Amino acid sequence: MPSLPLRVLVLEDHAFQRSVAVNMLQTLGCDQVFEASDGAQALALLDTIGTVDIALCDLQMEGMDGLEFLQRVGASGQVKSVIISSSLSADLRRAVHQMVALLGLELLGDVGKPLHSQVLAELLHKFIDRPVSQPEPASAVPLASETSVRRALAEGQLHAWYQPKFNLHTGEVCGVEVLCRWLHPTRGVISPALFMPVLERCGLLDEMLFAQLDQALTVQRSARAQGFALNMAFNLQAVQLASAQLTSTLKSLLTHHHTCGSSLTFELTESGLLEAPATSMESLVRLRMMGCRLSIDDFGAGFSSLQRLCQLPFNEIKLDADFIRNLEHEPRCRAAISSTLALGETLGMTVVIEGIETDAQRRELLALGCTQGQGYWYAWPMAGEDLLHWLQQRNDVSAVDE
């Protein structure tokens, strides 16, 4: 057995199981294997021996248990990665997986009990073969200044970009989500995270929205001329619903572009709607009366108030991407997706799945009954001209195939 350049700590309070784990790791070729019977002993040992590559960690122990130990080493950096070895139920171990991630620790795997040599060997090699990432700079990138954001808005540097939504069965484009990108003349594309908070703080969200609407409706009209009917979806903050100008300005823009409200969708995050006042409710009703669709965005990421979902006039649910990322490994995510699809059908609401990044995810979602989705597997966000060219290319390819 070749030697593995690994320092491994076994944290297990049962003497025989601890001995089995230590012997198995040594047989697999680990250079240095240490052992401790509880978290306190393990912390003391780490202070003496220094950082270890892997902690093979039980969870239930007398004295300091595995949960507290993980909390401690998550802050200290004395453990590079963790393998969970526990006889706790699967749902509790899944919760610990989330806890490990939140602590900033790398979870190599969950081997359960009893230990199996082959499974353990695969996880050891997973650690050795993993790509070594460069540490991120400690200093955070500062937000853009108010002056520069106001200038960008005034000079038309904030552009509408478009990410297609598609039919999972046919690949047909159902519509697009309109996103904002700052194309700076010297710095290139600036992340929305650096300017959106500034727009909100300065009360400029409406001005940005109306500029986006004007750009997007121009692109929509060009797409229609090419034979493509695109529904345009815009992100709307709950605070914007209180604006008396929202619906009146929207009506003017629709008239100017010779289109109707049914070609638009407004996506609102659920967290901002928990205490929606009467004025917000009025705006939502007026948008629906104009024919616009209303989508509850990132559903499941906030409080998921079913009461609010029933009270407010939504006709679309957009399921948060975290459910898709964990679909293959978390049975509960599968159940949540199925339940949301059933809820949408019962309430007469479309369900859109966001965050689809692989064909395997698409096939899994199809098996669950999903019909509409969005994500990098299908298309990245793109500028208006690129969208029109992309649509035409797809159409030309389809025509040749026929």
pLDDT band for 135, please (50, 70, 90 cuts).
very low
Mean of pLDDT values over 352-362: 91
325/202: higher pLDDT: 202
Q: Is the pLDDT of residue 387 over 50?
A: yes
Q: Is the pLDDT of residue 1 over 70?
A: no
Q: What is the pLDDT of residue 134?
A: 44
354/94: higher pLDDT: 354
In contact, 47 and 77? CB cutoff 8 Å: no
pLDDT band for 139, please (50, 70, 90 cuts).
very low
In contact, 43 and 10? CB cutoff 8 Å: no
pTM of the model: 0.69
One-letter identity of residue 46: L
H or E segment at 201? helix 196-201
pLDDT band for 20, please (50, 70, 90 cuts).
very high
Q: Is the pLDDT of residue 278 over 50?
A: yes
- DSSP secondary structure code for residue 302 in this structure: S
Mean of pLDDT values over 199-226: 95
pLDDT band for 137, please (50, 70, 90 cuts).
very low
pLDDT band for 275, please (50, 70, 90 cuts).
low
Q: What is the pLDDT of residue 303?
A: 52
**270 counts as catalytic:** no
Average pLDDT of the chain is 88
Q: What is the pLDDT of residue 132?
A: 54
pLDDT digits (tens, 9 = 90+) for 183-196: 999 888 888 889 99
Q: What is the pLDDT of residue 264?
A: 97
120/309: higher pLDDT: 120
Considering the candidates 35, 354, 385, 402, report the single residue annotated as catalytic. 354
Q: What is the pLDDT of residue 25?
A: 94
Q: How distant is the alpha carbon of residue 34 from its chain centre?
A: 38
pLDDT band for 4, please (50, 70, 90 cuts).
confident
CA quadruple 371, 372, 374, 379: dihedral positive or negative? positive
In contact, 74 and 68? CB cutoff 8 Å: no
Outline where DSSP puts E strands in 14-102: 30-36, 52-57, 79-84
Phi, psi of 267 (to 5 degrees): -100, 125
Q: Is the pLDDT of residue 76 over 90?
A: no
Mean of pLDDT values over 287-301: 87
Which residues of the chain form CATH 3.40.50.2300?
A: 4-129
Mean of pLDDT values over 248-267: 96
Write the class of the CATH domain 146-401: alpha beta
Which residues of the chain form CATH 3.20.20.450?
A: 146-401
Q: Is the pLDDT of residue 310 over 50?
A: yes
Write the class of the CATH domain 4-129: alpha beta
Least trusted range by pLDDT, from 51-60, 67-76, 86-95, 232-241? 86-95
